[in-house]
Each structure stands twice: as structure tokens, then as C-alpha cells.
Chain A
């Protein structure tokens, strides 16, 4: 009987803690949703959590805004382009790092890890100088440089996404038995055939996770996009920050934009949740 009471108490404790944690996690996000559903006048009443009437104008104002549309398009193009590029290149690179005895392999891993974890702030000035001074051709109106282009951003995001993808895929490709490759080589297959016919199908789930997570990292990036674009290639995260700097912030519309930014992330949580831990620890911890 005594044991039973203890068990019930410990379950109750677990539930109480987790219900509190869940509320603490969800309430801030919900509060933002509430703000996005209110008109400017309603905001300054005493805070309450009930949405009495959904004020859609915050969303419609934003969605029909030309600038916002172009920001959104840029974000989609840059993240998708970057994720596809990164996954394809990382597959080749990781296959090489996994199957070939390359001299100085671990130095490559150290360098890439540093690039993944380096503060983006340290990259601001170097990349700004690189994009405006070094990779600039022509003068005057015919001048062309990587600053404020989508290609520039796609290349830029490789700095942190490519190392991430290489580290994550290393564990996955190591998990594919080498004997399969060897057998194919004995049968006269070329390297490209081995990668396409053996590695690609077997690593497909891992590649999908890499693609999705790289996409989210590129989508979420703010600092580099804010300094290395000016108008043409601005992304949605920089758009969100612009709401605050303008005098007299329209909190409702800002909340609406923020809600639109986090929708893709929530979809990812739903699909890739199981692989998130491996992804964020470079494949070191798996569940």
C-alpha cells in the first residue's frame, strides 16, 4: 500500500511539472497569436488571453503588401536553393570523407566545425568587404557585385549549413556497409553509379532530414541577411526586424509577420522531431 502511494505521488509530480512546462512553452507563442489577432486599439486594454473577434486586417495588410511579398519570395528562393545545394554537395563530400583515406581528414572536420559554430557577427565585416570590394566587377552603372543578390545569400549560408550537413551525414553514410560499395565496384560500377544507386537510396531518410534542417537554418537566419542585403534580396526575417526600427511600431502587423515566419518551423517540428537531436548535436547523440 505504501509503495502504491509513492508511485501515485511520483506520477502526479511528473504530470504537474510537465503541464507547467507545456504552459510556459506555449503561452508566449499563443500571446503573440493573440496580438496578431487584435486591432491597435484593443491592445492597450488589460491583457487577456481570449480572442473575442479575430481582426484579420493585420494579416491581410501584410500579405497584400508588395514589399512583404518580395521578402517572402526571397526567403523561399534562398532557403530552397541553399538547402538543395548544400545537401547535394555534402553528399559527395561526405562520401569522400567516409570512404577514402584522405590525408588530413580530421583537420577538414575541425575547420568545418569551426565554420559552423563561429559567430555570424565575426563574418559581417569580412563578408561585407569581400562582397563589395573583392567580388565586384565593372564600374558605375555596369557594376556587378554579390552584395544584395540571392546568389550571394545562397553561397553565404553554405558557411554554416555545409559543415552542418557534412557532420550530420558522416554518421549516416558510415552506417551504410562498405561491403555494398565493394561488391558494386567488383561488378564494374563507377563511383557515380555507386553514389546514385547505392548510397542515395540508402541514405535517403538522412538526406531528407539534412535538407529540411538546412532549409530551416537558412530560413531563420537574420544577421547576415540584414547586413549583406539592401533591398533586392531582403528576406522575411529582416522584414520582421524592420517593423521595430520604424517609429511607432505596429505591433499587430509585426506579430502577424512573426506568426508567418514560424509556420514553416512548426511544420518541421511535426515532421522531423525525431531527428532533431541528432541534427543539433552533429550526429553525436541519437534517439
Chain B
């Protein structure tokens, strides 16, 4: 290993930028979170109020509801993606003509801007000229309107997320599956195991690190989804049925200029994701004992 001073010097520019735009803001809101500070209230000064912001926060029904929506959304979306993605990856494992074509098309949603995804699905589901409500009405006589039906709106954002992120799960699973050694599977086949047993006792344990990594990445992504949902349901409507925590901060808390309260909420949101991020970090790293 070479002189560490040079190493720190090379690292310095990145660390300074990340510190200034990534950490300083949070030190600042950690401070602001203990104050009552509203630019448009009678007194525009910061007044210290201890943990009042947090006390208000844990009883705030809108905030708790937004967290609950986020968790439900993430749960349904991620579980469906894992199942569908694993299934599709199994089908791609074998060589067949046209495989690379299918795979390339499958990748398309991954790189589209989330806000454009929201626009695409809005055009599909908008009552009036969207094909989905039109066809459902025509074929099944079923009224589909994400503008006033909370359950359907929630369903729509979950389906949109599945459409958006299943390719990621498929491709990652495929890469993991193709890297697996074939010997244990073949040995089990010789011993007369059926395909379910092979999947349950050999493939799944071997795939565990990949599945965990994908799972945690998807959970974190699900918790931070804002753009698509904001665009599709026009800010979390109808009511608060699709208002995730991100949209709540963006559409409700941020415009209110109640800086102390908003700071506390931002910090708490970050806290929740840091805890989730810890699991991702553990699954991404190799342990080295000292």
C-alpha cells in the first residue's frame, strides 16, 4: 500500500462535494428541526421549541397515512416484481432464436425518465380517451376511473411500477442464474429430485445473495418513488389514496414554508431510509474479519 496522504488527497474533491451538498443540509435541518420557523407566520424569527415538531409529527395523521401508503405500495410492487421477474428470467435462461431481441425490448422501460413513465400511464388511463378505461368499459362493462376511485388509483400506480421495474429484476436474476454452477443441480437430478425440489433446495439458496440485493435495492427505490406517481395521479389523488411520503413532502409540506416542521419530516424520512439502506449495505459487501 502506498502513502495514504496521496490517497486522501485524491479522495478530497469528491468528499468535499458530497459533504457540502449531501451532509451539510442535514446537519442544518437537524438544527432547524428543533425550532419553530415559519416565514409566513406572525413572527418570522426562529424560536426554540425542543422536540415539539417531532411530537406533532408522530401524531400527524397525514404523515402517518403517507408512510402507510408508501409501505403498501412498495410491498405490493416489489413482491409482484420479484415473482414475475424470477419467472421471466427462468424462461430466458435457455437459448432460443430471438432471445436478444426480446431482452432488448424488455430493457426499454428501465431508462425512460420516471416523469415520462407517469405521462405514458396517464395517457393510457385517463378517463375519456385512454384505451384502458375504454376497453374495460366496452368488453367487461367495468368502470375504471383513477380520478375518483381510490382502490383503482392505487392499483394503477402498483401496475405502473411493475411495468417500470420488472425488467430490472428479470435482468439481474438472469445474470445471477446464468452464473450459477450446474453441478449441484445435475447431481440432484441424478438423485431423482423433482424440479420443485431443485428450485427450493438448490437454486434458491444459491440465488439468495442476488435475491437479497435486488430486494433491498427495489425496496429503497420503492420508498423514494415520487415522479411517476405524482404525474399519474396528479399529486397523489384521489384524496390521499396514492400520496406517498415523497409526494406529501413535495406537494403539501414544502409549499407551506413551515420550515421547522418540514425539516423534522425530511429528517425522519431520511432516518427510515437509512435503516433500510443498512441492510442493502450489508448484503452488498463482503465481510472481512480483522
When distances are taken between beta carbons in the complex, the residues of chain B under 8 Å from A255 are 119, 123
B269 within 8 A of A: yes
B120 and A29: CB pair below 8 A? yes
A280 within 8 A of B: yes
Interface of A is mostly: helix
Residue of A nearest to B9 (CB): A96
B105 and A26: CB pair below 8 A? yes
When distances are taken between beta carbons in the complex, the residues of chain A under 8 Å from B59 are none
Number of A-B contacts (CB under 8 A): 305
A276 within 8 A of B: yes
Contact with B along A201-215 (1 / 0, CB 8 A): 000000000000000
B79 within 8 A of A: no
B134 and A121: CB pair below 8 A? no
B24 within 8 A of A: yes
Pick the interface stretch among A53-61, A66-74, A137-145, A237-245.
Answer: A237-245
A127 and B22 CA atoms in complex are apart in Å by 9
A155 and B17 CA atoms in complex are apart in Å by 7
B21 and A158: CB pair below 8 A? yes
Partner of B226, one of A93, A120, A244, A280: A120
A247 within 8 A of B: no
A229 within 8 A of B: no
B13 within 8 A of A: yes
When distances are taken between beta carbons in the complex, the residues of chain B under 8 Å from A273 are 103-104, 107
Partner of A31, one of B91, B131, B278: B131
Contact residue range for chain A?
35 or more
Nearest-Cβ distance from residue B38 to partner chain A, whole angstroms:
13
Nearest-Cβ distance from residue A147 to partner chain B, whole angstroms:
13
B194 within 8 A of A: no
B4 and A285: CB pair below 8 A? no
Given A47-B130, A191-B6: A14 touches B96 (CB 8 Å cut-off) = yes
When distances are taken between beta carbons in the complex, the residues of chain A under 8 Å from B1 are 99-101
Mark out the residues of chain A between 48 and 90 whose CB falls within 8 Å of any chain B CB in the assembled complex: 89-90
Can you list 5 A-B pairs, Cβ within 8 angstroms, ordered by A?
A47-B134, A113-B281, A125-B29, A220-B114, A273-B107
Extra contacts besides A129-B29, A237-B115 (5): CB < 8 Å: A15-B96, A31-B120, A124-B266, A258-B119, A285-B213
Chain B contact residues, CB within 8 Å of chain A: 1-4, 6-11, 13-15, 17-18, 20-26, 28-29, 32, 88, 91-92, 94, 96, 98, 102-116, 119-124, 126, 128-131, 134-135, 163, 167-168, 171-172, 174-176, 178-179, 210, 213-214, 217, 220-221, 223-224, 226-227, 230-231, 234, 245-247, 249-250, 253-254, 259, 262-263, 266-267, 269-270, 273-274, 276-278, 280-281, 284-285
